[in-house]
Structure 1
Amino acid sequence: MKCDKCNKEAVIFQKYSGMHLCSTHQMADVERKIKRRMRQDRMVLPGDHIAVGMSGGKDSAVTLSILVETFSKRPDIKFTAITIDEGIDGYRNFSIPKVKELCDELGVDHIVVSFKEEIGHTLDDILKRERKEASCTYCGVFRRTLLNRTARSIGANKVATGHNLDDDAQVVIMNIMNGDIERLARMRPDRIQDGLVPRIKPLMDVPEKEIALYAFLKGLPFYMGECPYARESLRGEIKDMLNDFENRHPGTKYSIMRGFDDMIDCIKTKYQQVPLNKCEICGEPGIKGVCQTCKLKERVKIN
C-alpha cells in the first residue's frame, strides 16, 4: 500500500482517518499532534525547568526526545529525567539502562529514585507482605509522591509524563465504571496547588500504537517489556476492551476524549478543585490530614 501523501511505501494505516502513511509522514504526523497540543496548552514557557518522568518505555522515550529536540536551541529551558525504580525484579532493572542510554544521547541529566531507599522496601517486597490493595495502588501512590517530591527538590516547575491518548481514554472509562466522577474533574485542574508540581502530557492526542511505531522508526532506545503486575488491574481489562472497540469502531478513543472535553466544565462545576493540605506526617500535599502515601506505609508496617 502506498502513502497517501507522497506515494512511497506506507508503514501504517490510520483507520480513524483513512490515511496510509509512509515512515516520513507518520513521524511528521505524530510530531504535529504533539507540538499542536504543546502550543494549545502552553505547556513549555520561557525559563521552565521540566522534570520528565522516565520509565524506560516507548512513551517516556518519545516524550523526552521530542521535548529536547523541539527546545534544543532554547538555553533558558532545562530538562531533567527522573526514573522511579519500584524494585520490580526482571522489569525495572532492564528498563533503567535504556533511560540512561537515551539521556546520554540527548545530554540530559538523569536521576534514579528507588522505593527501597525512599519507602524502605521494593514493590516486590511490599506485595509479598501485604495484599489488601491491588499492586497498582501501592505502586501508583508511592511513585507519584516520589516523582513530585524529586521534581520539587531539583527546582523543576513542571513534570512531563508520557501519557498518551489510550492512557487518558482508559482513565475516563475506568472512573466512570467506578462511579468516581470527582476523580475525572482532577484530570483538568483549574489552578496550581502548593507543593504539587503541575503535570503536562505532550502525547495526550497520539494513540499508543503510533507512539510505538514512531519510537521504532526514530531508533530510540526503549524497553519493550510489560510490567508483570499490569494485568492484575481493572485498567488492563479496560485497555483490552477499548482496543477491541477501536478495532471495530475506529476513532472510539478520540470520541471518548472529545466527549470528556465537552463535559469537563459541567463536571468541575459540581466537583470543584479541593485545596490541598500538608500531610501531618511527611508534609507532602494531600486532601486529608494524613496523605495516602503515609497511610499505605503504615498499613504495610514500613514506617
Structure 2
Amino acid sequence: MRCSICEDAAVARSSRSRKLLCSSHFMEAFEDQVAETLKAGRMIEDGDRIAVALSGGKDSTVLLYVLKKILAGEAVELFAITIDEGIKGYREDTIGYARRISEDLCVELKMISFRDEFGSDLDRIAKGRDQAPCTFCGVLRKSALNRAARDLGATKLATGHNLDDEAQSVMMNYLKGDIERLFRLSPRRPRPGLVPRIKPLRHIAEKEVALYGILAGVYPEAPECPYAHSSLRFEIRRMMNGLERDHPGTKGSVLRGFEKILSSAEDRPAVTPLSCCRICGEPSVGDLCKACHLLGRSR
C-alpha cells in the first residue's frame, strides 16, 4: 500500500481522514491534530507554565515529546512531574524511562512519591482493603499531581488521556449514573485550588498514539500494571474495544455525544462547590477530601 500523499510505503490509515499515510505524513498529521486540539480548546496561552504528568508509559511519553516539538519557540514553559506510587516490579522500569525521556528532551523533571506524600507505598496502602488498588491509585495520584503542580507554579496540568481513555471515562460515569463526576470531565471548568487540566491527545485513538511513539523512537517497552485487571475501567475498556471492533467509530461517537451534552449545558450551575479538607487542606467536596477518606484519616 502506498501513501495517499507521496506514494511512499504507507504505515497506517488515518482514522480521521481515512487516508493511507507514510511514516512522515502520519507524524505530521498527528502533530497537526494535537495542535488543532490545543487551539480549539484554548488550552495554552502565552506565559503558561505547563506541568506534564509523566508516568513513563506510552501516552504521557508521546505527550511530552509532541508538546516539546509543537511548542518550540512559544512563550510557554514546560516541565514534567512523575508520581512514584510504589508498585514493586512495575514502577521501577517506567520511572527509569520517564527520567531518560526528560533528560533526552532537556525537560526538568520533578519526582513525587506516595511514600513522601501519604506515608506509604500503594502496595501497602491497598493491602487487605475492600477497594481495588486502582481506586486508591487514581485518587491519590490525582491529589499528588495537583498539589505538586500547584506548588511548582504550574498554570496548566497536561495529561496523556487519549480517545480510548476519554470514551471509557464517559461510559463509566454513564453506567454509574454519576452526573456530578461526568461533568468534572469537562476540560474548561476551572475550580479554586485545582490546577486546570488539559488533554491534548483526547481526540486521538490509543493505537495511533502508540504508532506515533514507535515512529518517533520514544515508545517505552513498559510492562502492564499488575493491578490493571482488578479495575472497573479494565472491564469497560474490554467492552468498548469490542464495540469499536464490531462498530467502528463507537469511541469517537461516545466522546462527541458527551461534548454535545456539555455544550448544551453551558448555562448549567457549576458542580458542587469546593471547600477545604479539614485534614490536609486540599480542595474537597465536603469537609474531608477523597484521599483522606480512603486513607482513613479522621483528624
TM-score range, shorter chain: over 0.9
Deviation at 1:245, TM superposition (A): 1.6
Deviation at 1:18, TM superposition (A): 3.5
Q: What aligned pairs does 1:227-246 form with structure 2 within 5 A after superposition?
A: 227-246=225-244
TM score, norm. by length of structure 2: 0.94
* 1:99 alignment partner AA: A
Q: Secondary structure at the match of 1:50?
A: strand
CA deviations on 1:87-121 (whole Å, 9 max, x unpaired) are 00111100011111111111111111111121111
Q: Secondary structure at the match of 2:20?
A: strand
Going from structure 1 to structure 2, the CA distance change for 1:72 and 1:14 (only over 3 Å counts) comes to closer
Deviation at 1:267, TM superposition (A): 5.2
Q: Could you tell me how far apart the structure 1 residues matched to 2:188 and 2:71 are?
A: 26
Q: Could you tell me how far apart the structure 2 residues matched to 1:237 and 1:111 are?
A: 33
1:277 to 272, 275, 278: 275
Q: Could you tell me how far apart the structure 2 residues matched to 1:191 and 1:259 are?
A: 18
1:34 aligns with 2:29: no
Is the Cα contact below 8 Å between 1:55 and 1:83 reproduced in 2?
A: yes
Q: Which moved more, 1:185-194 or 1:131-140?
A: 185-194
Going from structure 1 to structure 2, the CA distance change for 1:201 and 1:7 (only over 3 Å counts) comes to same
1:187 counterpart residue number: 185
Deviation at 1:28, TM superposition (A): 1.4
* 1:195 alignment partner AA: G
CA deviations on 1:72-101 (whole Å, 9 max, x unpaired) are 213x41111100100001111000111111
1:4 counterpart residue number: 4
TM score, norm. by length of structure 1: 0.93
CA deviations on 1:238-264 (whole Å, 9 max, x unpaired) are 111111221222111111111111112
Is the Cα contact below 8 Å between 1:99 and 1:221 reproduced in 2?
A: no
Q: How many residues align?
A: 299
Going from structure 1 to structure 2, the CA distance change for 1:149 and 1:279 (only over 3 Å counts) comes to same
Q: Secondary structure at the match of 2:82?
A: strand
Going from structure 1 to structure 2, the CA distance change for 1:215 and 1:15 (only over 3 Å counts) comes to closer
Q: Could you tell me how far apart the structure 2 residues matched to 1:271 and 1:175 are?
A: 19
**5+ long unaligned stretches in structure 2:** none
Deviation at 1:16, TM superposition (A): 6.7
State percent identity of aligned pairs. 46
Q: Which moved more, 1:29-38 or 1:181-190?
A: 181-190
Q: Which moved more, 1:111-120 or 1:260-269?
A: 260-269
Q: Could you tell me how far apart the structure 2 residues matched to 1:110 and 1:135 are?
A: 26
* 1:231 alignment partner AA: H
Deviation at 1:192, TM superposition (A): 2.1
* 1:64 alignment partner AA: L
Q: Could you tell me how far apart the structure 2 residues matched to 1:268 and 1:10 are?
A: 42
2:287 to 282, 289, 293: 289
Q: Which moved more, 1:48-57 or 1:242-251?
A: 242-251
Q: Say which structure, 1 or 2, has more relative contact order (CA 8 Å, 6+ apart).
A: 1
2:68 counterpart residue number: 68
Q: Could you tell me how far apart the structure 1 residues matched to 2:79 and 2:95 are?
A: 15
2:199 to 194, 201, 204: 201
**5+ long unaligned stretches in structure 1:** none
